[in-house]
Structure 1
Amino acid sequence: MPEQTPIPTHWYNIAADLPVPPPPHLHPGTREPVTPADLEALFASGLIEQEASTEQYIEIPEAVREVYKTWRPAPLIRAREFEKALGTPARIYVKYEGVSPVGSHKTNTAVAQAYYNAQDGVTKITTETGAGQWGSALSFACAKFGIDLEVWQVRASYESKPYRRFLMETYGGTVHPSPSTLTESGRKMLADDPETPGSLGMAVSEAVEVAASDPNARYALGSVLNHVVLHQTVIGLEAVEQLRAAGEENADVVFGCAGGGSNLAGLAFPFIREVLHGRANTRVMAVEPAACPSITKGEYRYDHGDVAGLTPLLKMHTLGQDFVPDPIHAGGLRYHGMAPLLSHTVDLGYVTGQAVDQTESFAAGVLFARAEGIVPAPESSHAIAACAEYARGLTEPEVLVIGLSGHGMLDLPAYHEFMQGNLVSTL
């Protein structure tokens, strides 16, 4: 393992370095660029400032860094046994976010968002979650800063992943299956399809509706928006320095799973920074599920981030706000759109999309677990699968980095289904 490197003191904002400014978010009613006043009912003031910031680096508050010290810097691990299992000349490094208190990268932004809400005197936060990593992370963070949390979890994951719900409740969060009968948008969705498995877009609508109607509440999003991507750059900032400490000048290819986009962007943007400043030629692969291929099969256009159309219009790769993906086990990747900043870097040619089938990702996850001893989250296994395919085809050494966004210890029933041959292909 490379030597210890410091926790970053600042987040990195790629918007400051891109040759073409990212398209603005639009007001859903006027279709004009949103203003800070348009967002005040939903987000903390500090987060609104970060959403539109063009500063290259934004200081991480000391209170946030203190909480980060629980698990950061997260390790960058040389996956030597995985290299042997693949029979590749590549040197493969894994940036492992499963060491956080809830076992995923989501805690990086959860702590920051809870902090900024606490600074504004907010007493309640609402949010959505898919597989439950985000809901768990925000429950942990709200407990740290004394804020009540109400979570709408995608019904398919609420029913199939009860342990994450238990974890949210342990930290003090209140969890509802989505769509629910508690909101107007949820009731309409159930009326349209009583058997719907739900989607992140549906859950976003419910959480936004409740936050917007309560002056003491604000909404928190676990991915997609610029401020969320910003907070996740601690991953890539650490990885760039850790790779150098390991004696590697740069990465040739970076692989990360992509659902809403914050995990991949957080890892990749500091590497793309090196490309933008002429210091590297790193390529970035955004690996998404074949059941929800926003980048590889979606359109790059303005769309809502939720089903009910309550959120601003975002310029992003999207399958359409009404798209409901199959209830695959990688619940964190079941989102119809993609982070606007990540979509913009795809459009500019700095990131390439790749879709991976569910069974292929689980096979790679099992291979990795048996080689390295870490059971990866089903979401992360998509990146592992893409890296494995690429690495097997190499005849010369290259440096490959995988974003291992979380562990899969609460996803073992899904691994069991795979090993029993019960998982359905999604191609």
Structure 2
Amino acid sequence: MTVELPTSWRSTLPYLSEPLPPDLTPESASGGGVGVNLPMELVRQSVLEREYWQIPSEVLDAYRKFRPTPLWRATGFERAIGARVPVYMKYEGGNISGSHKLNTALAQAYYYKKAGVKELVTGTGAGQWGTAMAAACALFGLRCRVFMVESSLRRKPYRGVLMRMLGAEIHSSPSGLTAVCDRRADGIGNSLALAIGEAVEYAATHEGVAFCIGSGETYSILHQSVIGIESQAQLAELDAGVDMVVGAVGAGSNFGGIALPFHAEARATGSQPPTLVAAESSTAPKLTRGVYAYDKTDATGSGPLEAMYTIGSDYPIPDAHSAGLRFHGAAKIISAMRHTGDLAATAVTQQEALDAGRLLTRHEAVLPAPESGHALAAAAKLATAGADGMRAERGVLVCVSGHGYLDLAAYEQLLNDELGDEAPSETALLSAVSGLTPVSLGAGTPLLAGGPR
């Protein structure tokens, strides 16, 4: 293919059906907060309704090492699932982090470096974001510290080794190093919100250190728009059309990256957009069973409360290979578009996700991360019998957001028939969200996305 690397990111903020609900400030929501050293350019990218943002030359130079990424028609996968329509795959696993996360990590490291920050600290679930941040910090000369969910680090110790190879300091979360860790003994090493909370606290209490986040923020989703922009050009080069675009959702960065440029293009040209389908884990089903409410983004509760689809930041999410999808809420821009009906959602079990990953491995010779398996499983349903009232009629585009070479323990459990699934009960979900403030729910709107009216 002759598709060129995009030189600008594309924002969907000018094309939302409704403005994003404002955050609730720490003073009005929780009575206090921590300072986050967010570079002004990232603030602007989060709030200004500017459609195009030029990618800095230093970031472009780093992108050229692995972008554009490949897109192909997955004919082997199509035959394996009995697809009625073509299935196209956009593969983001061919870089040092093994995932799409490097797209925003490089941008953030650049902007934080310009702002004078010396060290970046973050929390990570599956380890892809931590690895991406470690690599970006190494390239831009910053120190890096990562709090990784204990259950993930235990299963994938070589993620920790890779981050250390890149110069990062790694802590298993709960780490015992922070006050939020002491207050959240119920985390039991399975909470991404806790790992993020530890990173937030550490950054707030150390000079020259800033917290950074890889998925839910509007600016990080903007940086991921290179995925969708490239995909549009690659599909055009193949003279191919799709009516479904699918990505897995933890908070929303890879889904937003591949899907939102299609939304922006359709709104800009007055055309009909494809159906944008967010595939989430059935163990953390915020978009399919959550409530649209103000909630915490991490376990400290010190930052602004954001409008999101959530199952409650204090909900004890079951241990599962949903890994990076194991987050209680969806990004504010993804949640807003779900609320206005501009995107759809479906939940996938880890058995379905890893089965889909095994099919891709056998028939396309690509080993996907378990997170990507959720998107593949959803795409397989849409391309065959359909799911949740949706079925593709022209074609499906799916983002394979990362490779699974460091997730082989999950696939070993699949091969040994040792997987299990634990979906939240309706009672547990109602309890977890009962104290949250809803976001302007209209008459007849269900409290829970999948619950009774």
TM-score normalised per structure 2: 0.89
Find the counterpart in structure 1 of residue 260 from structure 2. 269
Give the alignment of 1:1-150 within 5 angstroms: 3-31=1-29, 41-150=36-145
Of the three residues 365, 370, 378, the one matched with 2:357 is 365
> How far did 1:44 drift?
2.2
Q: Is the 8 A contact 2:150 2:172 kept in 1?
A: yes
Partners of 1:417 and 1:42 lie apart in 2 by 42
Q: Matches of residues 137-286 of structure 1 in structure 2 within 5 Å?
A: 137-190=132-185, 193=186, 196-248=188-240, 250-277=241-268, 278-286=270-278
Find out whether 1:322 has 2:317 as its counterpart.
no
1:212 Cα deviation from its structure 2 partner: 1.2
Stretches of structure 2 lacking an aligned partner (at least 5 in a row)? 424-453
Q: Which amino acid aligns with 2:397?
A: V
Deviations 1:387-419 (A, max 9, x none): 111212279852110010001111111101101
Counterpart of 2:417 in structure 1: which amino acid?
G
Distance 2:207 2:258 in 1: 35
The corresponding residue for 2:334 is 342
Which residue is 2:408 aligned to?
412
Amino acid across the alignment from 2:127: G
CA contact (8 A) 1:274 1:280 kept: no
Q: Residue type of the partner of 1:400?
A: V
By how many angstroms is 1:39 displaced? 8.6
Report the counterpart of residue 355 of structure 1 in structure 2: 347
Q: Return the offset for 1:19.
A: 2.9
State the AA in 2 paired with 1:238: E
Runs of 4 or more above 6 Å deviation: none
Report the identity percentage.
Answer: 39
3-state SS in 2 of match to 1:29:
helix
**Of 344, 357, 377, the match for 1:385:** 377
Residues in 1 aligned to 2:275 and 2:318: alpha-carbon distance in whole angstroms: 30
Q: Is the 8 A contact 1:39 1:48 kept in 2?
A: no
Q: How many residues end up aligned between the 2 structures? A: 417
Q: Hey, what does 2:441 align to over in structure 1?
A: none
Structure 1 residues 131-179: Cα deviation after superposition (integer angstroms, max 9, x where no partner): 1000000000000011001111011112111111111111011110112
Per-residue Cα deviation, 1:297-318 (whole angstroms, up to 9, x for no partner): 1110111101220221110101
Q: Secondary structure at the match of 1:386?
A: helix
Tell me by how many angstroms 1:344 deviates: 0.8
The answer to whether the 8 Å contact 1:197/1:327 transfers is no
Aligned with 1:228: secondary structure? helix
Among candidates 298, 320, 323, match of residue 306 of structure 1: 298
Distance 1:298 1:396, change over 3 A: closer
CA distance in 2, matches of 1:350, 1:356: 20
Secondary structure of residue in 2 paired with 1:254: strand
Contact map agreement 1:324 1:336 (CA 8 A) in 2: no
What is the identity, as a one-letter code, of the residue corresponding to 1:253? M
Shift of 1:89: 2.8
Residue type at the aligned position of 1:86: I
Amino acid at match of 2:2: Q
Verify the 8 A CA contact 2:127 2:159 in the aligned structure 1.
yes
Instruction: Give, in whole Å, the separation in 1 of the partners of 2:100 and 2:23.
Output: 25
Unpaired runs of 5+ residues, structure 1, are none
Residue 398 (structure 2) aligns with:
402
Separation (CA, whole Å) in 2 of partners of 1:115 and 1:322? 33
Change (3 A) 1:78 1:117: same
The 1-side partners of 2:336 and 2:34 are apart by 22
Q: CA 1:40–1:227 in 2, change beyond 3 Å: closer, same or farther?
A: farther
One-letter amino acid matched to 2:78: E
